[in-house]
Amino acid sequence: MEITAQSIADFLHGTVVGDANARVSSAARIEQGRPGTICFFANPKYEHYVYDNKASIILVNNTFEPKQPVSATMIKVENAYEAVASLLEYISSLKKSTKRGNRWLVCRPLSSSIGKGTNIGRQVIIGKHVKIGKYCRIYPQVYLGDNVKVGSNVIIYPGVRIYHDCVIGDNCILQANCVIGADGFGFAPREDGSYKKIPQTGNVVLEDDVEVGANTTVDRATMGSTIVHKGVKLDNLCQVAHNVEIGDNTVMAALSGLAGSAKIGKQCIIGGQSGIVGHITVADHTTIAARTGVIGNVRKEGEILLGYPAIDHKEYMKAYAIFKSNAKK
């Protein structure tokens, strides 16, 4: 699959500077450009790569004026950093096969329905009364339990498990081997020191435009629903416990965990390897730095938190300066 500079420029509403017929088949980082690839340049500290680059096409901002000759064809756009996301999606869509799966290798009862244009891969197991929307792409070896509902334009990669009664909204992406709706970690201690399992009777609801990373787990609620609201992005290897609620457009980096019944606000940023205890509320627009432990409610919107236990980043940096000063004595 090859696409021309002019086709890319038309898609991104950009302007070609150079050979409009230059062709590329993949994208590469600006440091690793080679013939047949397209790179993007937005950060000034990488400008020297523009002049040494072997890529066929480089995506740049409209404001960029080269100080040296550039051998690659340039495509100028309003914002190269934002445009690259659309470009990668465009390239990916051209590469992906539209071939339909072998339906005779799919286990599906008659009570379930599959929408128009949906492609099902081999060895997919679909439970009873499952509803799958239009134009979904379900890769091989996916399991959909009884009564699962999947919206339209959903991509489910190989090995995903969606347990019974869970709901997946429109335009969601579930990366390989993520698990939606496994039992929450609920056990009642007994007098003899053993534990009795508490039945997890709820479900998981992923609203529209949610992406769940590879090997991430979102547990079903004990009662009611674990809810991941619209636009949330969960990285690989994250844990979302039972009855958690995550607000619109919050992002959560890898190896982070949310304990049971935590309520996370809208447009929060949760850094990698962070942990948030259960039964607390985190205000909208909170930023939680990597490896931070939040052990109490965050009531003020827009705070930036660091450390364990989490404190305001300015207070943390003051404390760090004291620690560093004392360490030198």
Residue 320 token pair: 């760090």
Rounded to the nearest 5 percent, the helix, strand and coil shares of the chain are 15, 30, 55
pLDDT tens digits for 33-59? 999 999 999 999 999 999 999 999 999
**Mean pLDDT (whole number) for 1-23:** 94
Q: Known catalytic residue: 242?
A: yes
Q: Parse the chain into domains and list their residue ranges.
A: 3-95, 160-316
With both helix axes pointing from N to C terminus, report the angle between 5-12 and 80-95 in degrees, rounded to the nearest 10.
120
Chain-centroid distance, C-alpha 319: 34
Alpha-carbon gap, residue 37 to 32, rounded angstroms: 9
pLDDT tens digits for 81-120? 889 888 887 877 776 544 454 444 678 888 999 999 999 9
Listed in sequence order, the residues at least 6 apart from 109 whose beta carbon sits closer than 8 Å to its beta carbon are 126, 127, 128
DSSP 18: S
* Active-site residue identified among 242, 279, 285, 313: 242
CA distances from 50 to 19, 30, 62, 65, 91 (A): 16, 7, 15, 11, 22
- CATH class of this structure's domain 3-95: alpha beta
pLDDT tens digits for 195-236? 999 999 999 999 999 999 999 999 999 999 999 999 999 999
160-316 folds as UDP N-Acetylglucosamine Acyltransferase; domain 1 (2.160.10)
CA distances from 119 to 98, 102, 106, 153, 216 (A): 8, 9, 11, 11, 24
Report, in angstroms and rounded to the nearest whole number, the Rg of the chain calculated over CA atoms: 24
Question: What is the arrangement of strands in the sheet containing 217-218, beginning at the earlier edge strand?
Answer: 125-126, 143-144, 161-162, 179-180, 217-218, 239-240, 257-258, 275-276, 293-294
Listed in sequence order, the residues at least 6 apart from 230 whose beta carbon sits closer than 8 Å to its beta carbon are 169, 207, 208, 209, 210, 248, 249
